[in-house]
Homo-oligomer: A and B are copies of this chain.
Amino acid sequence: MLAQCQPLYRSGKVADYIPALAQVAPQQAAVAVATLDGRLHSAGAAQQSFSLQSISKIFGLVMAMNRLGDELWQRVNMEPSGQPFNSIVQLEWEQGIPRNPVINAGAIVVADVLVSHYSASKTAFLTFLRRLTAEEAIYADQQVYLSELEHGNRNAALAYLMKSFGNIEAEVPQVLEHYFHQCATAINCEQLARSLLFLANRGVQPHSNEQVCSRRDAHRVNAILSTSGMYDQSGEFAFKVGLPAKSGVGGAIVAIVPQFGVITAWSPPLNRFGNSVVAMQLIQQLADELGLSLF
């Protein structure tokens, strides 16, 4: 499968909105499948670290749900947005309430919750990820982090607009620092697949037997990923793959297969929606051949 994807590299374009991401070599790909019974299959550069980017929104969301409970849903909606991931227009219409927690505005509200409820939110985020992956060596890439900070004007606009509506509690620079730090987390396909098994398992992380979140919240996260996880290609992905999933501009996509496991794929070149061309193809093919579509 990886070999067949070779011709696809050229049809995408590595994210270039920050210099640190633009430098990543495009011709790389990996795939990993972690199952609830503890097996891990992978191929390609599955231990090569990449930037977590928007996929970090899942982890932040679970942390915020655990801290704030249902109160969170008064500050962020759970509906698909039908708008570019960083749209400011909808935020204005809906008076500072983001459509869902996986568009940027929603993830910034989530970051505000973390900053306001943890004494050291950046460390808490890394600790959470280390626990989920059972690995100590999970860090934020400092170069990416600083690069994001420097080019984060649109996210700053989103944050200040929400603050003007009273939907950001902490200071904006602090919230953005957390958000960009979280996005800059370096991870690889195998780690990522293992880390999210609890979402396929009603909230319970199989290797530790820890109840990471309630069964109800695991369903909720999957539901949100299912309608909104793939930017403005969520509908098409639902048809082609039929699984809750999230992509990041670092080139990774993670798909949750309830009662079965997690599939991750990674390759830097992105299509015009911001989704990795090769990762989409890999996940679609796997889902197809294994008959994983929920529909």
Contacts and interface: CB of A to CB of B under 8 A. Distances in A.
Interface of A: 77-83, 87-90, 92-93, 99-100, 153-154, 156-161, 163-164, 172, 218-220, 222-224, 226-228, 232-236, 238-239, 242, 244, 256, 258, 293-295
A220 B239 contact: yes
A224 B239 contact: yes
A109 to B, nearest CB: 14
Given A82-B99, A157-B164, A219 B242 contact: yes
A246 to B, nearest CB: 14
A100 B239 CA distance: 13
A156 B87 CA distance: 17
A236 B78 contact: yes
B235 A224 contact: yes
A122 to B, nearest CB: 22
Given A82-B83, A82-B90, A83-B82, A293 B219 contact: yes
A214 to B, nearest CB: 12
A223 B157 contact: no
Nearest to A156: B160
A255 to B, nearest CB: 12
Nearest to A77: B235
B234 A227 contact: yes
Contact of A92 (B81, B88, B224, B256): B88
Interface centre among A77, A80, A89, A232 (most CB of B within 10 A): A80
12 contacts: A80-B82, A88-B89, A88-B92, A88-B161, A153-B163, A153-B164, A219-B295, A224-B239, A227-B227, A244-B295, A258-B294, A294-B295
B163 A160 contact: no
A292 to B, nearest CB: 11
B157 A258 contact: no
Contacts of A82: 79-83, 90, 99
B219 A227 contact: no
B78 A239 contact: yes
Given A161-B154, A295-B258, A79 B232 contact: yes
Given A224-B239, A238-B227, A258-B294, A80 B80 contact: yes
Nearest to A166: B153
Nearest to A151: B164
A16 to B, nearest CB: 15
A235 B100 contact: yes
A58 to B, nearest CB: 14
